[in-house]
């Protein structure tokens, strides 16, 4: 178990029910291998809501609104259109660099993996984009390190809500709507 996932389990123990995933199909749809800490996160928590604010996306999520593959398709299209009018963040200017969403918020902010050509998935870092704006933040940590560090207050985003995280953490698995 990744250290950051162990930190999350200390904060909020995972549900005893876990969901098996067809990672091969998900990775084929995305065209990349996904980070092992993310796979462990989904195995332990599934698509989930943290502190009534942050939603972790899941391939084939029971709640279709938070399906990782659908979000990747939508965000890729939206960002491709956006780059026609706005300057890309410096982290995204190199040839072949892309972002893949792994979480969103109830305000519409999106959290992405920064995917660089030739870089192993376990070394992907996190980028946060504000809802309906052009501000981006880059955090040189994995998705589970980001989530654990934000919940413990060790890491702070100026884009995410000032009311996140809650002082008493909440977690729930996403269910069909």
- Tens digit of pLDDT for each residue in 8-50? 999 998 876 666 789 999 999 999 999 999 999 999 999 999 9
How many domains in the chain? 1
**Mean model confidence pLDDT for the chain:** 93
Angle at 168 between CA 164 and CA 13, to 5 degrees: 105
Token pair belonging to 144: 């589970």
| Cα gap 62→174, rounded to integer Å | 7
Quick one: pLDDT at residue 32?
A: 96
pTM of the model: 0.95
Q: What is the pLDDT of residue 15?
A: 74
With the C-alpha atoms ordered 76, 160, 114, 23, is the resulting torsion angle positive or negative?
A: negative
Largest alpha-carbon pair distance within the chain? 47
The whole-number average pLDDT for the span 55-80 is 93
Q: Which two tokens stand for residue 46?
A: 């599934």
> pLDDT tens-digit profile of 90-129?
999 999 999 999 999 999 999 999 999 999 999 999 999 9
pLDDT band at 69 (very low <50, low <70, confident <90, very high): very high
For residues 21 and 60, is the Cβ–Cβ distance under 8 A?
yes
Tokens at residue 114, please? 């920064």
Three-state SS for 88?
coil
Residue 143 domain boundaries? 3-173
Rounded-to-integer distance, Cα 56 and Cα 61, Å = 10
Mean pLDDT of 140-153: 97
Give the confidence band of 144 by pLDDT, cuts at 50, 70, 90.
very high
Q: What is the pLDDT of residue 1?
A: 66
């Amino acid at each position: 178990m990744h250290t950051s996932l162990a930190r999350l389990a200390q904060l909020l123990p995972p549900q005893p029910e876990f969901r098996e995933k067809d990672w091969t199909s998900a990775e084929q749809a995305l065209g990349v291998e996904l980070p092992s800490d993310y796979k462990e996160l989904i195995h332990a928590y599934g698509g989930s809501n943290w502190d009534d604010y942050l939603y972790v996306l899941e391939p084939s999520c029971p709640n279709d609104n938070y399906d990782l593959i659908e979000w990747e398709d939508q965000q890729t299209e939206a960002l491709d259109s956006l780059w026609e009018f706005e300057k890309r963040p410096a982290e995204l200017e190199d040839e072949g660099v892309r972002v893949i969403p792994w979480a969103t918020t109830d305000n519409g902010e999106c959290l992405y993996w920064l995917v660089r050509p030739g870089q192993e998935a376990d070394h992907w870092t996190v980028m946060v984009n504000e809802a309906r704006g052009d501000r981006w933040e880059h955090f040189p940590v994995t998705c589970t390190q980001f989530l654990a560090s934000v919940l413990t207050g060790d890491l702070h985003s100026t884009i995410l809500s000032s009311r996140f995280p809650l002082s008493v953490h909440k977690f729930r698995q996403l269910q069909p709507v």
